[in-house]
Amino acid sequence: MRSDLMKKGPEKAPHRSLFKAMGYTREELERPIVGIVNSFNEIIPGHIHLDKIAQAVKAGVRMAGGTPVEFSTIGVCDGIAMNHDGMRYSLASRELIADSVEVMATAHPFDGLVLIPNCDKIIPGMLMAAFRLNIPTILVSGGPMLAGRVGNRPVDLISVFEGVGAYKAGTLTAEELEELEDCACPGCGSCAGMFTANSMNCLSEALGLALPGNGTIPAVSAARFRLAKTAGMKIMDLIAANKRPRDLITLKSFENAIAVDMALGCSTNTVLHVPAIAHEAGITLDLDLFNAMSARTPHLCSLRPGGPHFLEDLNAAGGVQAVMKELAKGGLIHLDVLTVTGDTVGANLERVKAVDHNVIRPLDNPYHREGGIAILYGNLAPQGAVVKQSAVAPEMLQRTGRARVFESENEAASAILDGKIRPGDVVVIRYEGPKGGPGMQEMLTPTAAIMGMGLGKDVALITDGRFSGGTQGAAIGHISPEAAAGGPIGLVEEGDEIVIDIPNKKLELKVDEATLEARRAKWQPKEPKIRHGYLARYARMVTSGARGAVLE
Residue 378 pairs in a beta bridge with 381
Angle formed at CA 407 by CA 401 and CA 412, multiple of 5 degrees: 60
Distant-in-sequence contacts of 281-289, Cβ < 8 A, 24+ apart: 281/131, 281/245, 281/246, 281/249, 282/131, 282/246, 283/250, 283/251, 283/254, 285/254, 285/258, 287/375, 287/383, 287/384, 287/546, 288/375, 289/255, 289/258
Contact in structure between 65 and 31 (CB atoms under 8 Å): yes
Q: What is the largest CA-CA distance in the chain?
A: 76
Other CB atoms within a 10 A radius of the CB of residue 292 amount to 14
Closest CA to 235 of 245, 223, 225, 222: 245
Other CB atoms within a 10 A radius of the CB of residue 519 amount to 15
Residues assigned a catalytic role: 468
Closest CA to 286 of 6, 551, 544: 544
Instruction: Give the containing element (helix H, strand E) for 155.
Output: strand 153-155
H helix intervals, 371-474: 409-417, 444-452
What HEC string does 466-519 produce? ECCCCCCCCEEEEEECCHHHCCHHHHCCCCCEEEEECCCCEEEECCCHHHHHHH
258-283 per-residue burial string, b: 16 or more CB within 10 A, e: under 16: bbbbbbbbbbbbbbbbbbbbbbbbeb
Angle formed at CA 1 by CA 102 and CA 6, multiple of 5 degrees: 65
**78 labelled ligand-binding:** yes
Q: Find the distance separating the first CA and the last CA of the chain, reported in whole Å.
A: 33
> Measured between alpha carbons, how far is 189 from 471 in angstroms, rounded to an integer?
19
**343 labelled ligand-binding:** no
Other CB atoms within a 10 A radius of the CB of residue 188 amount to 23
**442 labelled ligand-binding:** yes
Cα–Cα distances (Å) from 227 to 221, 355, 483, in that order, read 10, 21, 45
**506 labelled ligand-binding:** no
> Measured between alpha carbons, how far is 103 from 245 in angstroms, rounded to an integer?
18
DSSP 8-state assignment for residue 375: E
The two beta strands, 497-501 and 506-509, are antiparallel
Tell me the backbone φ, ψ of residue 24, rounded to 5 degrees.
-70, 140
- Binding-site residue numbers for Mg(2+) are 78, 120-121, 442
- Binding-site residue numbers are 78, 120-121, 442
